A and B are shown apart, each in its own frame.
Chain A
Amino acid sequence: MSETVLSVRDLSTSFFTPRGEVQAVRGVSFDVRPGEILGLVGESGSGKSITCMSVLRLLKAGGRIKSGTATFEGQDLLSLDEDALSDLRGNRIGVIFQDPMTALNPTITVGEQVIETILRHRRASRAEARARAIELFELVRIPSAATRLKSYPHEFSGGMRQRVMIAIALACDPQLLIADEPTTALDVTIQRQILALLKDLQQRLAMSVILITHDLGVIAETADRVLVLYGGLIMETAPVRDLFARPAHPYTLGLLGAVPDLRDDTHRRLTPIPGSPPDMAAPPPGCPFAPRCPHAMRQCLDALPPLFGTAHQSRCWLHHPEAPKVAGLNEVAA
């Protein structure tokens, strides 16, 4: 299994709320390969964050992983004991969260928040950890690193805070970096800087990255492969070029808008699709996209489509050999 860094199989996660069970993730499987950037896209609430947080078992109160495995360096993260897992978190697997305003502890200096991570995983003296923290701040291009260590998060701008988060995530040279919408909360120009920084670091440090985003432009520019999530399910997965060149799933097509143009330099936000996502407390038995799908068939309401295809996969009944022909959507190109 040397060609996968992380291998997730049949992951299902639910939240148990007063309203009932909310099935946030329903049987997701995917691999992350060494040195690749895997993009996760989907509308809000499609289960992107919960998928990643499940892998690290960082769910908030009420969340429970119902089934699945997540193999990382030969160990199943989902059945590992808490101690061993916490040895991996922040060490072999780094995480960056969406909102740098709330993800840092407001009452502890940023330096300390980096240093404590190093001290937790490395045999190092405080002075060594501090030297490493300065090195990291320089790596993520925070100016006058040594003095900024003593600052508190509120003394930083959003972009600078996200750099601190990246420094924390990279503190112990992780094998895998999970970046959950690392730029969504930032200004456009800062977004670009942070993304460029991430991509640069990924190449220099030879990490694998899972990049969650709303921004198809970001995916087109940075990702190697893409997972499209909807209603807690993988709808389509493909190498990034295939996905943009030959999207096979009506949902992906909807996301891309009418004419996807890769060469268009402007960032293309997800185009809103009419209708709203399914209620995950009572998911429909058939295709969750059926109420919004222009091609919906009787079959779509009755049964959940399987994933068709191999390297490029898509979960749509249109790919069934008996299905009626719809231009461009019947073939899942390999």
Chain B
Amino acid sequence: MLGYLAQRLGMMAVTLFAIVTLTFFLMHAVPGGPFVSERMLAPEIAAALNAKYGLDLPVWQQYLNYLGRIASFDLGPSFKYPGVSINSMIAAGLPTTLRTGLLAVICVVALGVPLGIVAALNRNRWPDTFVMFVATLGVAIPSYVIATVTLYLFALRLGWVPTFGLDDWRGYFLPVFALSGFWISFVARLTRSSLLETLQQDYMTTARAKGLRPGQVLFKHGLRNSLLPVVTVLGPVVANLVTGSFVIEQIFALPGIGRQFVLSITNRDYTAIMGITIFYAAILMVMILIVDLLYVWLDPRIKLTKATA
């Protein structure tokens, strides 16, 4: 187990390094430089700024400097807002993004899994048809469409919830729904097909042949195994909730990291784009690691093969 963890952490370090490198050189491939859009900047001011931010150094030196700063968890200063560090930008947006994201993950698990179970247990009867229809809607309609349509209906027309912000607790409804809609549907479909497959397994017949009660058969033998694939998608779920938050925070004017990111893109604030990308990547990899560890814990077959490998 410890060996596995060490191996995973090593992989993570490699991946993060690759991401930092890729991001750094991508951002340096942008024609001109970070200050290019500021046309009014006098040459001497630009030179002074370049010197201040170390942009006059050769690229490889800038890269090493950047790596060094990243290693000490410093994402550097913003080029657009003098005196503001990327770290503080992220710190300001994190609580909002975290709260909505967490609520969305909870919704995905708490709604997606039970819906999938209901559908599978009623295969080809109306609850199944209904859930699968709604789930197909859910995977087909893009989150920003859900967001804008529900915003119009429930906030503008009906006035049940505020149109923007999270000051009112009702403000959470629409963003969380728009964020999680796709993944609720996705998880419902996955749970259904996985449970249907598990129900066909020989060991389910064994469980019934042992005389176990239907509840025991379903919950102890069926669900646990059929939820394994669902656990594996939780990593990607978190990843996509993050990217989904760009638009959702934009549409509902939530002061989160996603909106900050989109703002940085519009402002061409390159250090902010870089810093937030790297921050996202790191968060995601931690999430995926957690999910994988959860998986190892849930599926005893993994432990042995991975630990010996």
Contacts and interface: CB of A to CB of B under 8 A. Distances in A.
Q: Direct contact between A and B in the complex (CB less than 8 angstroms)? A: yes
Contacts of B202: 97, 99, 102-103
Interface in B202-226: 202-203, 205-214, 216, 220-221, 224-225
B298 to A, nearest CB: 7
A105 B221 contact: yes
Contacts, number: 84
Contact of A89 (B199, B211, B221, B298): B211
A70 B97 CA distance: 63
A107 B213 contact: no
A121 B299 CA distance: 28
Interface string B16-39: 000000000000000000000000
Given A102-B203, A103-B202, A108-B220, A58 B208 contact: yes
Which one of A89, A103, A154 has the highest number of Cβ atoms from chain B below 10 Å of its Cβ?
A103
Interface in A76-112: 82, 86-91, 95, 97, 99, 102-109
B200 interface: yes
Size bracket of the B interface: 20 to 34
A263 interface: no
Contacts of A302: none
Given A104-B203, A105-B203, A105-B225, A154 B301 contact: yes
Name the prevailing secondary structure of the A interface residues: loop
Contacts of B200: 60-61
Given A61-B200, A87-B211, A120-B213, A105 B206 contact: yes
29 contacts: A53-B205, A56-B209, A58-B208, A58-B209, A61-B123, A61-B199, A82-B214, A86-B208, A86-B211, A87-B211, A88-B211, A90-B209, A90-B210, A90-B211, A95-B206, A97-B202, A97-B206, A97-B209, A102-B202, A103-B202, A106-B203, A107-B225, A107-B228, A107-B299, A107-B300, A120-B212, A120-B213, A168-B206, A171-B210
Name the prevailing secondary structure of the B interface residues: helix
Contacts of B299: 107
B201 interface: yes
B220 A95 contact: no
Interface of B: 123, 199-203, 205-214, 216, 220-221, 224-225, 228, 298-301, 304
Interface residues of A, number: 33
Given A102-B202, A105-B225, A154 B304 contact: yes
Contacts of A95: 206, 209
A308 B258 CA distance: 82
B206 A107 contact: no
